[in-house]
Copies of this chain bind each other. A is one copy, B any other.
Amino acid sequence: MKVVTCAAPTNIAVIKYWGKADAVLNTPLNSSLSVTLHQDQLQATTSVASGSALSRTRLWLNGQEQPVNSRVTTVVQEMQQLAQRVHKAAQETQQPLLLVSSNSFPTAAGLASSAAGYACLVAALAEFYHLSTADEEFPGQLSAIARQGSGSACRSLHGGFVAWHKGQRSDGRDSVAVPVADTLHWPELRAIVCVISDQQKDTSSTSGMQRTKATSPLLTYRVEHVVADRMKTMEKAILAKDFAAFGMLTMRDSNQFHATCLDSMPPIFYLNETSREIIRLVHRYNEQAGRVQAAYTFDAGPNAVLFVEEQHVQELVSLVCHCFPNSLNMTIKASMSFDCTPSRALLERMQSKVCCSSEDTFELPHLPDSVKMMYVSRVGGGTRVLSVDEALIDAVTGMPLSYQTAARSHPLSRPRSCLRSDQLLHYVVAAAIVVTSAVLLRK
């Protein structure tokens, strides 16, 4: 049995996508720009196989069989039809497929799992049907197909810094993702993903976008008059590796996206108390430094992603640990280790009255157990093909490996390193808390 396996990264938008121009084509009201995160920390993996034993296409996600929804169906059909046109041999491309996917991080927790998942599906199907960008019938066709699964998935095909141009055509063919700078362009950049417990009801991205588009005058203005300039400014900041400009605009655009949510009727609140305290903390951190050294951004949920350059990542991680301590030790998934205790000098600067222009003295937040865990990541590459031994499908039995491995020490979430039991608990707690916060966080 032929099995191919691919991996895909998540991406974090620094110019936000909010609002669909066409709900079926999944084209956006405005262009957006994202940073692809390294797959060491957050990764989706998908295996594809086909076989005569299958009577219909079936899908497993994180060890559970799922119904094949219309978006998956669309992506599979588009890829099969492209393969038929390119290769002329239609036989193979009409067989039902076995799709097995898993994430190395909590799914549907507002960590861009849909983006990674649909990008991974497109990559795996491309590999399965021997399609490359050279086979595209128009530039960016693969990303246009990924977009139909989940809008921001088109950006996860590429590494580095990626622009998703909203496009002009009514068929969506020019609504595609294009790299702005490559994976190695800004090696000092770090992203601290703070997984936050969410006690408030969420509005799914899809219904939230509909509501904002239908009711917010401010979104209309943002789409028509704000984003185009910001795309240019952001691209310039990235190309110049100008962290202050990059960080300032990242924060402003995150805030403006959430402002349009608040301008919706009824208003949509994605930020919670912890999110707001992180915002305050970052602004104070920049104030005491006298420049923009850190930036936050929030998608359609309370989780914070903090951008910072390498030389300040230890400071910021320690501040988050200090202000949002975990009653168990803070789990930090990263390629290096961090000290969770901020230096006394930093704490003094943060709380000093004279450091800052603010009228008030600053009290450091203290919200125990509100940040469940952190990933410290960097800029990473796009989708890639994995080796046979990383497959999620057994080539002999043609079954998802989860069935066979349930009793083995090979958890489906597939972190590369062994989990300590307290880390596992953190995963479980984080996953449990966020599971209600919408399978549809597809931004």
User: Residues of A with Cβ closer than 8 Å to B?
Assistant: 200-201, 204, 207, 215, 217-218, 221-222, 225-226, 248, 251-252, 255-256, 258-260, 262-267, 269, 273, 276, 279-280, 283, 359-360
Contacts and interface: CB of A to CB of B under 8 A. Distances in A.
A237 to B, nearest CB: 15
A415 B74 CA distance: 68
Given A218-B218, A252-B265, 5 more contacts: A215-B252, A217-B222, A218-B222, A252-B263, A255-B262
22 contacts: A200-B276, A201-B360, A217-B221, A217-B226, A218-B218, A218-B221, A218-B256, A218-B259, A221-B221, A221-B225, A251-B265, A252-B265, A255-B262, A255-B264, A255-B265, A255-B267, A259-B259, A259-B260, A259-B262, A266-B280, A266-B283, A267-B279
B248 A265 contact: yes
A359 B262 contact: no
Contact of A276 (B251, B256, B269): B269
A438 to B, nearest CB: 9
List the 7 closest pairs (A to B, CB-CB), nearest first. A259-B259, A259-B263, A221-B221, A259-B262, A266-B283, A255-B267, A218-B218
A424 B209 CA distance: 47
Given A256-B217, A265-B255, A359 B283 contact: no
The count of identical subunits is 2
Contacts of A252: 215, 263, 265
A427 to B, nearest CB: 25
Given A207-B359, A360-B201, A262 B265 contact: no
Contacts of A226: 217
Given A222-B218, A360-B201, A263 B256 contact: yes
A273 B225 CA distance: 32
A360 to B, nearest CB: 5
Contacts of A248: 265
A255 B263 contact: yes
Contacts of A225: 217, 221
Contacts of A360: 201
A222 B218 CA distance: 8
A258 B258 CA distance: 11
A266 B278 CA distance: 12
Contacts of A279: 266-267
Nearest to A286: B266
Contacts of A276: 200, 269
Contacts of A256: 217-218, 263
Contacts of A267: 255, 279
A278 to B, nearest CB: 12
Nearest to A362: B201
A46 to B, nearest CB: 28
A334 B63 CA distance: 60
A296 B135 CA distance: 56
Nearest to A438: B359
Interface centre among A225, A283, A359 (most CB of B within 10 A): A359
